[in-house]
Amino acid sequence: MNDLHEHDVGLDASVKSHIESKATVDGTGSHSASVDDHGYRVLSLEEITPRVDDILEAAKTLASAAKKLEKNRVEEDEAEKAARALQKDANDAFEARLEKRVAPEMRRFEDVQKDVLKALKKLDKAVESADEETEKSQGAYKELLSIITPSNRAI
Amino acid sequence: MRTNASSNAVISLPQAMAHSSDILIAAQKLASAVYKVRKKRLDEEQARKLAERLRHEVREALKALPEGDYSGHLYIEKTIQRELIKANNDIDRAIEGANKEAKKSEQAYADLIAVLLNNHDSQAD
């Protein structure tokens, strides 16, 4: 999983060594405000310690939003499949209706059409909820980064 | 829109979401270790206060003892002084515990940062 591109290797190595040197400092409180080549740095453990509650909160929000999003994706898929299948039924019923062929086992076009609309509404809801969770997770991730690397405007 | 993709070494939002459980685990470990460090530092402070008081008590009790009162001396050793030793041990144990938890918090923070910087694709494009 670490097959990084050439450019990335150099970048990650410099950032990582930088972070390791910062994160393992203990009690010396080196606030040298070191800025690396990319114009931001990751704060030291001492600097973020007062905000561990916020970090935990953001991580919780991110994880819960990611989980809900996954669930939403499944719901979206299911709703889409259901809508497609119903629309196909509706098409069949529509053709039958125009041809005035009424097979006894065939549902009325109007009934199927109602179910299609219901399925579409369900799909809309899943999409809407997914958008909300995406927004939540984005906010949580932004918050997390703003605590740990305040000068970084990655997101 | 990402304006400064070249300086973006943290992982993207989709990656962060994919690794959100790793992030949460590291954050939980970090918070738990930091809380424990705080608790141990409090324990240490309380043990120090107690030891200070007991040391004073021992000094006063010895002072009040008549010259050559060995049984009185022994009594002080068995009571107040023993408590003082226990308080001193508590101080040591609290310091040890705080150091242990501080190490854990360092590791957890390093883990958290490692997840956040494990950047693969946002720079490739």
Q: Per-block average pLDDT, block size 10, for chain B (125 residues)? A: 47 94 97 97 97 95 90 92 96 97 97 82 37
**Subunit contact B24:A152, Cβ cutoff 8 A:** no
The per-residue pLDDT for B46 is: 97
Q: What is the pTM of this model?
A: 0.71
B10 CB within 8 Å of a chain A CB: yes
The per-residue pLDDT for A31 is: 37
**Subunit contact B21:A56, Cβ cutoff 8 A:** no
The per-residue pLDDT for A24 is: 40
User: Chain B residues with CB inside 8 Å of A45's CB?
Assistant: 105-106, 109
Mean pLDDT of chain A: 78
Among the listed residues B43, B20, B30, B61, the one whose alpha carbon sits nearest the alpha carbon of residue A64: B20
Which band of pLDDT confidence, cut at 50, 70 and 90, is reported for residue A44? very high
Higher pLDDT, A142 or B6: A142
The answer to whether the beta carbons of residues B110 and A22 sit under 8 Å apart is no
**Subunit contact A12:B8, Cβ cutoff 8 A:** no
Higher pLDDT, A15 or B49: B49
- Residues of chain A with pLDDT > 90: what percent? 54
Is 70 exceeded by the pLDDT of residue A3? no
Q: How far apart are CA A119 and CA A96, in angstroms?
A: 22
State mean pLDDT over A1-26.
Answer: 40
From the CB of residue A148, how many other CB atoms can be counted at a distance below 10 Å?
A: 22
Q: How far apart are CA A106 and CA A94, in angstroms?
A: 11
Candidates B7, B8, B30; nearest CB to A52: B30
Least confident of A11-20, A94-103, B86-95: A11-20
Which band of pLDDT confidence, cut at 50, 70 and 90, is reported for residue A38? low
State mean pLDDT over A5-33.
Answer: 40
Least confident of A18-27, A144-153, B42-51: A18-27
Separation in Å, CA of B7 to nearest CA in chain A: 5
Tokens (6 digits) for A43: 């704060």
